[in-house]
Amino acid sequence: MTSVATPPTASTTAPAPAVEARGVHVHLGASHILRGVDLTVDRGDVVALLGANGSGKSTLVRTLVGVLPPSAGTVRVLGHPLGNAVPWGDVGYVPQRVSVGTTVPSTAAEVVASGLLHGRRLRLPRGWRARARAALDLVGLADRADDATSRLSGGQQQRVLIARALVREPELLVLDEPVAGVDRPSQEAFAATMRRLVGEGLTVLVVLHELGELAPLVTRAVVLRHGRVVHDGAPPRPHGGHDAVGHDHVHPHEPEPFADERGLAHGPITGRPGTEARP
Amino acid sequence: MTLFEELGYMLGDPLMRRALLAALLVGVSAPVVGTYLVQRRLSLLGDGIGHVALTGVALGWMIGAATGLAPNDALAIPGAVVAAIAGSVLIEVVRRRGRTSGDLALAIMFYGGIAGGVLLIGLAGGSSGNLMAYLFGSISTVTTTDLLLTVVLCAVILLVGLGLRAALFSVSHDEEFATASGLPVWALNMAVAVVAALTVTVAMRVVGLLLVSALMIVPVAVGQLVTHSFRRTMLVASLVGVSVCLVGLSLTYWQDVSPGATIVVLAIGVYAAVALLRPLFARRRPAGDPHPDIPDDVEVAGRTPAGARASAAAGSDEECVG
């Protein structure tokens, strides 16, 4: 059913790729969301996962971190098949932000500290407070550690979720739309943090709607359309086509005035087609 | 007679001592579990389990009567424990299947539990009057065996509820992230469900099945009014739980009223008082820009950027001091 194409940047000498997905199909209810996705993320790569709403970007990353079970295909994370074998302490995941504030209040430090638990580690290690504060410092929120998350702005709440993924010092960071609806200072703080961590060798798989601030860091772009990979290679060149005739502008505009200041990746993608799957 | 003499008489009564000890244990543990339930938006779970536990009581009664055990209700509490655990595990399974039907499943359990209880107690040769003690509490009849059971169950509840607090917080706060961290989410959810069931059965003695949930939830409502951290909400909730249980029970030593109802009314009274008084003590929100690090997007006539900055700076100072 699936013709496996070799990803362009696959290396043969390095340790197992950070992420290796082969022929992944995912069904949610009656809908067939992913239709045979192959994806390899090598160590040290910064891969942007692009595509229109409904193309399956979020479904793919949620499958890769074990939230959704694939109905067919295999997924290996850091060299291990999904499940208890994966060293989850080396994987940081930033889900799409829903409202962080629950009915019971929780401080930013408490939320970040929950990132220290993984696999069979069910209790906080010694010194968790200092580690949570250090992670919050990475995203520029050290002074808000003891504030209720419900008192933070949307962008600050998103940064708390990023700190929660970073607190365990992951080798692989998976982010789902980390800058969607995020205020400008939070976007800049996020980009600065990512520059530093990528410089230290962090592997990143990030779902983005537009490359934006992260464009200089991205080493590869994978584009999904209708649950299939239609491009896997060089990141698309920034293109000022956001307001062009026929541009399918589907995401809701957030109340942030400067979001479109930089060149944004919404132009036609000219890279060669990567993997194709036929139903 | 002075108040101290009265208290001395009360504490000299072995029946009252047992009752107070049971109330103390339940007052501490019920809000601990309640904190997780409120966080998962399952505040009514305790009610659902309570109703199902009634069927368990009647079932235990029926088996006791059929096998000719000395007191007819010897198996009532074990029956309640089994039914409550089965019910809460079932609710958890339904919750995992899909969010929309969870509400409906809970409703069906409410009615099925009560109807089943009344029906079974009739078949066992009793009357629904026999169920009153379980519906509204019967702390004045706590025996040494009951107390022992309460101590053991409360120890289990506190061990799980406090010992696994970080993991249960993670799962209750963001189940998707917990799953992506490789945590045993299913086992942790089941732990909450089972502990909630145990809480319902121990609290049944003190406040009764119909009011169990109030003891788990209302103290948490008080806690979240006055703190902004999960840990402190749990702590305050437990303190409120203990206080209302002990004070409420003591009041019934002098006034012949239902202990369970007194405790719950007291808890709601504390909530109302805290909610009313809170504005007087709450730290004032800064008058300026709540997000001083974010530049204003549009200029508004009559409010210069410099002025906005200054008030924002003042606001953030005030916040740091408070």
Contact A95 B38 (CB under 8 A): no
| Chain B: residue whose CA lies nearest to A156 | B291
> Residue B76's pLDDT is what?
85
**Cα dihedral B185→B189→B195→B199 (10° resolution):** 150
Spatial distance between the Cα atoms of A120 and A83, rounded to a whole number of angstroms: 12
A237 part of a folded domain: yes
- Of the partner residues A102, A110, A183, the one whose CB lies closest to the CB of residue B229: A110
**Residues of A with CB below 8 A from B180's CB?**
62, 65-67, 88, 91, 93, 95, 174
CATH number for the domain spanning A133: value is: 3.40.50.300
A269 part of a folded domain: no
Q: Angle, nearest 10°, between helix axes A154-166 and A128-138?
A: 130
Contact B298 A183 (CB under 8 A): no
The answer to whether B28 touches B242, Cβ cutoff 8 Å, is: yes
Spatial distance between the Cα atoms of A160 and A193, rounded to a whole number of angstroms: 13
Q: Is B256 helix (H, G, I), strand (E, B) or coil?
A: coil
A129 part of a folded domain: yes
The answer to whether B130 touches B121, Cβ cutoff 8 Å, is: yes
A223 part of a folded domain: yes
The answer to whether residue B167 neighbours chain A at the CB level (below 8 Å) is: yes
Contact B228 A117 (CB under 8 A): no
**Residues of A with CB below 8 A from B230's CB?**
104-107, 110
Q: B296 or A179: which carries more pLDDT confidence?
A: A179
Q: Angle, nearest 10°, between helix axes B3-12 and B14-39?
A: 90
B10-49 in b/e form (b: 16+ CB < 10 A) is beeeeebebbbebbbbbbbbbbbbbbbbbbbebbbbbbbb
Give the C-alpha distances (Å, rounded to integers) separating A195 from A46, A99, A217, A220, B119: 11, 27, 7, 16, 68
Residue B42 identity (one-letter amino acid): L
Give the C-alpha distances (Å, rounded to integers) separating B56 from A37, A55, B51, B149, B245: 50, 50, 9, 17, 25
Radius of gyration of chain B (CA): 24
Query: Given 3.40.50.300, 1.10.3470.10, 1.10.3210.10, 1.25.40.10, which CATH number is that of B13-211?
Result: 1.10.3470.10
- Of the partner residues A104, A118, A185, the one whose CB lies closest to the CB of residue B224: A104
> Residue B139's pLDDT is what?
80
> Residue A86's pLDDT is what?
93
Minimum mean pLDDT range among A21-35, A96-110, A163-177, B49-63: A96-110
pLDDT in tens, A229-259: 999 988 876 555 554 444 554 544 444 443 3
- Of the partner residues B163, B183, B224, the one whose CB lies closest to the CB of residue A118: B183
Contact B180 A66 (CB under 8 A): yes
Question: How far B38 CA sits from the closest chain A CA (Å)?
Answer: 7
Number of structural domains found in chain A: 1
The answer to whether B91 touches B48, Cβ cutoff 8 Å, is: yes
> Residue B285's pLDDT is what?
54
**Residues of A with CB below 8 A from B176's CB?**
62, 67, 95
Please count the CA atoms within 13 angstroms of the CA of B247 that sit on its side-chain side: 13
- Of the partner residues A84, A111, A153, the one whose CB lies closest to the CB of residue B182: A84
Average pLDDT on A190-195 reads: 89
Tokens representing A234?
A: 């060089």
Spatial distance between the Cα atoms of A139 and A188, rounded to a whole number of angstroms: 10
The answer to whether B274 touches B297, Cβ cutoff 8 Å, is: no
Question: How far B83 CA sits from the closest chain A CA (Å)?
Answer: 29
Contact B39 A146 (CB under 8 A): no
Task: Give chain A's end-to-end CA distance (angstroms, integer).
Answer: 7
Instruction: Give the number of residues written for chain B.
Output: 322
> Residue A187's pLDDT is what?
84
A258 part of a folded domain: no
B273 sits in which H/E element:
helix B259-281
Interface test with A, best of B41, B168, B177, B284 (most A CBs within 10 A): B177
pLDDT in tens, A70-100: 999 999 999 999 999 999 999 999 998 766 4
pLDDT along chain B (322 residues), means of 10: 82 89 94 94 87 92 82 82 92 75 75 91 81 84 86 96 96 93 94 95 88 94 93 96 95 89 95 91 57 58 47 41 36
Interface test with A, best of B101, B181, B228 (most A CBs within 10 A): B181
Contact B294 A184 (CB under 8 A): yes
- Of the partner residues B35, B180, B291, the one whose CB lies closest to the CB of residue A65: B180
B residues 217-236 closer than 8 Å to A (CB): 220, 224, 227-231, 233
**Cα dihedral B98→B104→B106→B111 (10° resolution):** -160
Contact B181 A119 (CB under 8 A): yes
Q: Give chain A's count of helices (H) and strands (E).
A: 5, 10
What mean pLDDT value characterizes chain A?
81
Minimum mean pLDDT range among A209-213, A263-267, B102-106, B115-119: A263-267
* Domain coverage including residue A81: 19-243
Spatial distance between the Cα atoms of A154 and B179, rounded to a whole number of angstroms: 23
Q: A209 or B168: which carries more pLDDT confidence?
A: B168
Radius of gyration of chain A (CA): 18
Please count the CA atoms within 13 angstroms of the CA of B244 that sit on its side-chain side: 30
Give the C-alpha distances (Å, rounded to integers) separating A261 from A186, A238, B297: 15, 12, 14
> Residue B290's pLDDT is what?
53
Question: How far A270 CA sits from the closest chain B CA (Å)?
Answer: 34
A143 part of a folded domain: yes
Instruction: Give the number of residues written for chain A.
Output: 279
**Residues of B with CB below 8 A from A183's CB?**
291, 294
Average pLDDT on A134-156 reads: 90
Q: How confident is the model at residue A189 (pLDDT cuts 50, 70, 90)?
A: confident
Question: How far B188 CA sits from the closest chain A CA (Å)?
Answer: 10
A261 part of a folded domain: no
**Residues of B with CB below 8 A from A142's CB?**
none
**Ranges of each domain in chain B:** 13-211
Question: How far B317 CA sits from the closest chain A CA (Å)?
Answer: 12
**Cα dihedral A254→A256→A257→A258 (10° resolution):** -110
Interface test with B, best of A114, A124, A169 (most B CBs within 10 A): A114
Q: How confident is the model at residue A6 (pLDDT cuts 50, 70, 90)?
A: very low
Average pLDDT on A266-278 reads: 40
ipTM of the complex: 0.81
**Residues of A with CB below 8 A from B164's CB?**
122-123
Compute how many other C-beta atoms are within 10 angstroms of the C-beta atom of residue A57: 24
